[in-house]
Structure 1
Amino acid sequence: MTANSFASAFSSHLKVPFCMPFGAIIVTAILSFTSSMVYAQTIYIPEGSANSVLVVDGANGSTIRRIDGLEAVHGLSGTANSGVLVAGSLIETDKPVEAPASVTADEHTAHHGASGRAIGPDIAGISILSIIDRASGTIIRRLEVPGAVHHTAMSPDGRYAVATHPGADGISIIDLSNYEVTGWVPTGPMPNYVIIEQSSQTAFVTNTGNGTVSEVDLARAFVRRNFLAGEAPEHMAYGLGTGTLYIADAGTGRVIELDVNTGKVLRDIAIDSEVHGLDLSDDGERLFVAVTGSDAVASINLKSGSIATYPLGSEPYHVTTIPNSGQALVSSRANPEAWVVDISSGAVVKRFQLSGVGHQMVVVR
């Protein structure tokens, strides 16, 4: 947010009766501005073809830095309980990672195996997963993983990260205590999106190629169960404490509400146009969805089932809730821009100009 826009927003709150004491005017204005506009987090936006991550101060919208050297960055994850981000590249490379100075040749060979390849199927190519120090923006480790990375997730406790590999039909599990790829799990055709639930022991992975969601045990690196979930499930949101997944069945224009305790589909919510990213409000009562096919966003009241649709801009794409703000970040698939949008009203609060199309965005305190 620029100084001018701050001043404009602040002055708009000063339209109060003259009889109100001046001190009360100031307090009222500041409280109103804070409740509607300010969110004290750091925002990270992968810029895809620009090979960078934009870092934004959530309090004022100013750019903190750009993290460069992240080729075709798409998947990005982080949590308040970890000092790092995990970024995945959507392309493969023929340049293997060199052993870090702190790692011996034997340790490097042990990690990559006798063939020198990353853990995973030999048929897959190699892609790079980057570990980034959040405080400095420095890339502190690069890991070889089997095949291009679509999305990543970090466990709430900061112990694990997971990367999905659509071309290799599986996921990589990374132990963030030592930055090692410790497991490979075949989940199904074209794994797309991944969420790690609150206990940090279980990951849920959408398999777009066969219409399923896999429940993965992270410590033991195996699939416990598979659930049917529409035709081509992609992005997901997880209701904390409810055991409920909300899944974008992208091409059909529907959102599936899945109870992971029973494996049953509770609701099949029709949006009637291509959907992509989605996320839940802080209270879990609203689901905010990018309706890519109609250049809009939808706010779904999960109690009543009512759906309000608001025009936004060209091809809304990824969605990430900004905690404790009532707002969400939405990127565009068509243009290098992102919006901050009010979840209840659909009003655009702020726009960000990007250097490339924004992908899996992260907001961390």
Structure 2
Amino acid sequence: MSASRILTAFGLTGALVTAGVAQAGIVYIPEGSADSVLMVESETGQPVGRISGVEAVHGLAGAPGTPYLVAGSYSEIDPESAAQTARPEGVSQADHNAHHAKPAKAAMPTDKGLSLVSVIDAGTGEVVRRIEVPGAVHHTAVSPDGRWAMATHPGGDGVSLIDLSTLEYAGFIATGPMPNYVSFSPDNSRAYVSNAGNGTLSELDLDRRILSRNLLAGEGPEHFALSRDGATVFVADAEAGRVLRLDIASGAETASYGFGAELHGLDLSEREDTLFVAVKGADQVAAVDLASGAVRLQELAPAPYHLTVADGGETLFVSSREASMVWAVDQVSLRVTAEIGIEGEGHQMVVLP
């Protein structure tokens, strides 16, 4: 792609945030097996720092105005080794114990695995707390008010709730088989979880910490995008190669968009008039005009994977499942404007102002 700028991130360690960069939007890209998060300026695609020491990071979430990023590890740890984690030199035992917070035994399921969620200071890149959770984490979410975080456990048939006001584990909520993606309602009272194992979207009541109802969502729902008013959700029925548009209140399917190949990430434009979809199985990125249903397709290879829109800008960011790179893509033309070299694999990206 001759028009692209190749931007590599080699040699960037730590969180190299300057006052000028902090005022621009930052794209945080979890780098999976590289155990790190790359920070990229959203307007230029220029790498500005890297957060290290976040093992097998897959899920990553944040919210505007919230000081934290929440990163989930897709690998499980041995309980005995977790209990014997070495205390760094110069750190008091009390501070070390707080840094590696253990949930109340009554709240933690005893029949699950064990993994870690890292709470990261979004400004400095410092990991301020690691919280034990019951099993490998796929995706994470942060509530719009910054009070709660949630992590999905595909091997544990449920999600963990984390209180970001206290940085403590707040409990486990059973959802369905193979929970994949998660998002909060705009009023912070509910959360939604896609269950790839039984074709449902679970609605969770956060006040009562229970599953309140299930919406039918195709065969194997994975990523989804919730409208800003919380009335509509667009769900990727990934292997079936289609996106379902569901009315939240009634649970009814109001539209379906077929792509004929396996899907992965999707997101809504800032004006919510366009839906962008990574058509991984066909090496394409798609833009759906939601008023007319018209679909524009653009080749993007290899294997477009996670996708996120940079609100306030003209760019969407798409990672590759098969190459260590993220594309910056113009939302109107769907043409690549930059290629960003990363380490590992680019998973659940988040853009913060």
**Does TM, scored on the shorter chain, surpass 0.5?**
yes
> Displacement, 1:62?
2.5
1:321 aligns with 2:309: yes
The unaligned stretches of length 5 or more in structure 1 are: 6-38
The unaligned stretches of length 5 or more in structure 2 are: 6-22, 88-92
1:93-142 CA distances to partner (integer Å, 9 max, x unpaired)? 0132569724879x967x3317xxxx443221100000001111110100
- The answer as to whether partners of 2:160 and 2:169 remain within 8 angstroms in 1 is yes
> Displacement, 1:282?
0.7
1:63 aligns with 2:47: yes
1:359 to 335, 347, 351: 347
**Equivalent in the alignment of 1:90:** 74
**Equivalent in the alignment of 2:11:** none
Identical aligned residues as a percent: 47
**Equivalent in the alignment of 1:278:** 266
1:308-356 CA distances to partner (integer Å, 9 max, x unpaired)? 1100110000011000113211000001100111222211121110011
Moved over 4 A (4+): 97-100, 102-105
Please give the alpha-carbon distance, in whole angstroms, between the structure 1 residues aligned to 2:136 and 2:112: 9
Equivalent residue letter for 2:82: P
Task: Give 3-state SS (helix, strand or coil) of 2:281's partner.
Answer: helix
- The answer as to whether partners of 1:216 and 1:223 remain within 8 angstroms in 2 is yes
C-alpha change, 1:343 and 1:62, in structure 2 (3 Å) is closer
Please give the alpha-carbon distance, in whole angstroms, between the structure 2 residues aligned to 1:102 and 1:256: 47
> Displacement, 1:242?
5.4
Please give the alpha-carbon distance, in whole angstroms, between the structure 1 residues aligned to 2:243 and 2:127: 36
> Displacement, 1:243?
0.6
1:20-58 CA distances to partner (integer Å, 9 max, x unpaired)? xxxxxxxxxxxxxxxxxxx93011000001000001122
Please give the alpha-carbon distance, in whole angstroms, between the structure 1 residues aligned to 2:60 and 2:207: 21
Of Structure 1 and Structure 2, the greater helix share is in 1
Matches within 5 A, 1:1-365: 40-94=24-78, 95-96=81-82, 101-102=94-95, 111-113=103-105, 119-241=107-229, 243-365=231-353
Equivalent residue letter for 2:345: V
C-alpha change, 1:59 and 1:269, in structure 2 (3 Å) is closer
Please give the alpha-carbon distance, in whole angstroms, between the structure 1 residues aligned to 2:145 and 2:52: 27
C-alpha change, 1:62 and 1:101, in structure 2 (3 Å) is farther
Please give the alpha-carbon distance, in whole angstroms, between the structure 2 residues aligned to 1:227 and 1:303: 24
Question: Number of matched residues?
Answer: 323
Please give the alpha-carbon distance, in whole angstroms, between the structure 1 residues aligned to 2:46 and 2:137: 29
Please give the alpha-carbon distance, in whole angstroms, between the structure 2 residues aligned to 1:223 and 1:308: 37
C-alpha change, 1:181 and 1:299, in structure 2 (3 Å) is same
Task: Give 3-state SS (helix, strand or coil) of 2:308's partner.
Answer: strand
Please give the alpha-carbon distance, in whole angstroms, between the structure 1 residues aligned to 2:40 and 2:315: 16
Please give the alpha-carbon distance, in whole angstroms, between the structure 2 residues aligned to 1:159 and 1:226: 24
Tell me which structure has the larger Cα radius of gyration: 1
TM-score using structure 1 length? 0.85
- The answer as to whether partners of 1:173 and 1:218 remain within 8 angstroms in 2 is no
> Displacement, 1:269?
1.3
Please give the alpha-carbon distance, in whole angstroms, between the structure 2 residues aligned to 1:311 and 1:60: 22
Please give the alpha-carbon distance, in whole angstroms, between the structure 2 residues aligned to 1:219 and 1:316: 37
